Chain A
Amino acid sequence: MAVETASRGPAAETGETVEGGEPSFRPSPIGWLARGIVWAAIAWLVLIFPLGREAFELQRYSEAVIFGIIGLSLNVLLGYVGQISLGHQAFVGIGAFTSAYIVTEQNLSFWVGVAAAVAVGGLQALVLGGVSLRITGLYFALVTLAYGLVAEKNIFQIQELTGGGLGQPAPKPKGFESDFRYYYLCLVFLAIVLWVDWRMMRTKSGRALLALRENPRVASTFGVNVRLLTLFAFVVSGAFAGLGGALLAHNDTRVSPETWSFNLALIFVIMTVVGGLRSRAGVVIGSAFFALIGYLLDKFTILQDGLNAIPGAPDLSPEIARLVIGPVLLLLTLTLTPGGIGQQIRPIVRWLTGHRFDLKDRGLKEVQISDVRA
């Protein structure tokens, strides 16, 4: 009995039909057409729309895509493993500096830089994962927080690595110098990350990882090596984060230590939680939203006008907007809709992948950030 529950739970969450589960459903031709149109609209928004914009806007869009990658990396830790990292900006930042260093100081190509960033990110996460096996839950969160601070105040102050106060240059790769091409490059990377994430969670280990969250004892009777799995998840998370960092570095063409502050760590956590844990689409959307808040504020001045109506409220600059809106959304998510955006869009996602449109389908289990070994 317990075995069946464990295997059905995570599988259903990843959006698969299961034998012996709900009866097979095939959409009608009109259903296919409707789904196709929506897919095409999404594709247009992501692929065609940016072509008509100006170059520096593309830099913002690339950042949104990269934030999606970072969100997915944090989702592995927070959503799949159930460990919280309040120092994730350190992983991303180290990836950024690594790639910049490789390209600028070592004069190697962008691709080597990215590979190095991925490796360093994974390695760093492996170490932290090892620590997490001994120190759990809340205390681990504290360790990650302190680690993030060490990264900001010590690691990123190493002159050779960081190029001193001016930051380290990180030029765009050959063939992708324009912001337009770089954007599509980032999209390709996002697609790769999504695919790796999806495949990983479909393997036996992946399903076991999710089972681990719900019921550790059952998982270990499967013959699942809990420690190894956890470490593996950490490495994947770190690798994705390193990749995100490298892409960010070359997007901005410069990396400075000041970027990687505690504020950023919280923004990462917020965007992942608000996006919705264990929902890939939700996390990507949530992350993109937080990356683009400043930009959206400038374009759609409704919020600004609304705020100006409040007496005594000064202008909300884009930088501050993110810091104000973020926590509010986080608190609303945690208290009212723990599944975040992912939970809300789940009916749509299910519909788009060929299932019936069911407004009440919000996932089998309540989504929570839970401590695996609380």
Chain B
Amino acid sequence: MSQRARVAILLLVVALVGTACGQKTGVAGTGGEVVAGGGGGGGGGTASGRHEPDDNDTSGVSDSEIVIGVHAPVTGASPLPQRTFDIGKDIYWQLLAANEPDALGGRRVRVVFRDDEFNPNRAVEVCREMVESEGAFILVGGGGADQITACAEYAAENGVPYFSAGVNEAGLEEASTYFALSLTYAQQAPLIAQRIKDEGFEKVGVAVADTPSFQDGHDAFVDAAEEAGLDIVADDTINKTASEAEALAEVQKLKDADAEVVFILTSPLVYLGIAGGARNQNYDPVFIGPGITSGLNQVLTFGCPGVAKGRFFSPFPELDVIDELDPDYVAAYEQFGQGEPADDIGLALWGLNKTIRLMFEATGDELGRAALMNTIEGGEVFDSGVFAPVEFSDGERFGGTAAHLLKADCDTKLYSTEEQFVQAEG
């Protein structure tokens, strides 16, 4: 009895001592990252700007390697296929290493991928892990607006540059190290409204997932639609992870309101539920919306014929025109794809990677986080030929200038590129 008490007191004392020690040692750094020569001084002769290098400025960049961390949902409520990510994330860099071994100062790019489980909490965890354990220089978000917003917060707090295709603006405007490499939902809204108008439709239904991240996209569209003189006959939010019954209920509402066109901003799974439900009820509107993931071919593999009238703006074009825009893509897959066919997820990653490469190059050999971000904000235009050209400035970190319009084709079960590089206004 008393010996227990003695042991307990001993442990408590050690615990209190340990707490004090914790403050002194902080990050012990025994297994820390390689800090390339030059430490935290000014980033060489590249553009000066508002980003100041900190102690971790060159973490993830060595003389031989640059590490990029990518996260995306491959499990959870709205998963993407894991295999395509595992292969697709490396293809561009493998081609670069083969064809231009001296690019980027002779360094090789290593891409680390983590599943964020469609959970913003987990996204922050894996982003942190990729930076602190795997030594990522920059982070890239593959999809899922909430996860991207969460990770962007983490990245901003730690001075890590973070890139994704354009999603929401709310919550990301304040993330000082975040850069959107294509049009955001809000920026796409006027394009969508105009397109609806041009095709002669009037009655528009709106179905948006019930999450604050989509709010600004929703509001921008409603404003743009009203300006274009369209009639919004239904305006609903639907559960982020709606069940089939909920999708059916939403379909009923849209059908009763007689919507000819439905502006849809949800996860692809919910889109499929709604489109499928509509088909089963003999209700056949045109679905149109912004976003990356609803314009993926996997939606068609599954959703036809319900999604036959789907049109989505997308940062990347589809496979039907890629050969004229960038003949390297398909060839690269044949060489490095390990037997996997070239697909559109890979294409999205290709576009992201290619744009990032241009940004690295513009920064020069003295590659550091602050230097990179200052270069990006310097106003230069980065044109990958796949994504629309992007352009940033100090204060404007949503750099997209145009988007591609994709159209569903249920005969081939592939999206086709109806129109390339549709310019956004302003």
Contact = CB atoms under 8 A, between A and B. Distances in A.
Do chains A and B directly touch (beta carbons under 8 Å) in the complex? yes
Interface of A: 39, 43, 47-48, 51-57, 59, 157, 159, 163-167, 178, 180-181, 183-185, 187-188, 191, 195, 252-256, 258-259, 317, 319-320, 353-354
Contacts of B77: 258
B18 interface: yes
B121 A54 contact: no
Nearest to A354: B3
> Across chains A and B, which 4 residue pairs bring their CB atoms closest together, nearest first?
A165-B211, A180-B22, A258-B119, A164-B212
Nearest to B26: A178
Given A53-B30, A164-B213, A166-B213, 5 more contacts: A51-B18, A59-B128, A178-B23, A184-B15, A256-B121
Contacts of A178: 22-23, 26
7 contacts: A54-B133, A165-B211, A165-B213, A167-B146, A180-B22, A180-B26, A184-B15
B22 A256 contact: no
B338 interface: no
B265 to A, nearest CB: 12
B128 A56 contact: yes
B146 A166 contact: yes
Given A54-B132, A354-B3, A43 B14 contact: yes
Contacts of B8: 191, 195
A47 B120 CA distance: 31
Contact of B15 (A53, A54, A191, A255): A191
Contacts of A54: 27-32, 132-133
Given A166-B171, A185-B19, A259 B149 contact: no
Nearest to B117: A319
Nearest to A185: B19
B27 to A, nearest CB: 5
A254 B11 contact: no
A53 B10 CA distance: 23
Given A56-B132, A258-B117, A253 B22 contact: no
Interface string B197-240: 00000000000011111100000000000000000000000011
Given A157-B239, A164-B211, A353-B4, A255 B121 contact: yes
B28 A53 contact: yes
A178 B128 CA distance: 14
Given A56-B129, A258-B76, A181 B22 contact: yes
Contacts of B4: 353
B244 to A, nearest CB: 14
A59 B122 CA distance: 13
B194 to A, nearest CB: 28
Contacts of A53: 28, 30-31
A39 B214 CA distance: 54
A166 B19 contact: no
Contacts of A181: 19, 22-23
Contacts of B31: 53-54
Contacts of B171: 166
A187 B30 contact: no
A317 B115 contact: yes
B11 A43 contact: yes
Interface string B1-23: 00110011011101100110111
A183 B171 CA distance: 30
A184 B18 contact: yes
Contacts of A253: 124
B212 A165 contact: yes
Nearest to A198: B4
B121 A180 contact: no
A241 B239 CA distance: 28
B69 to A, nearest CB: 13
B333 interface: no
Choose among A47, A166, A178, A320 the residue with the greatest number of B CB atoms under 10 Å from its CB. Answer: A166
A185 B150 CA distance: 26
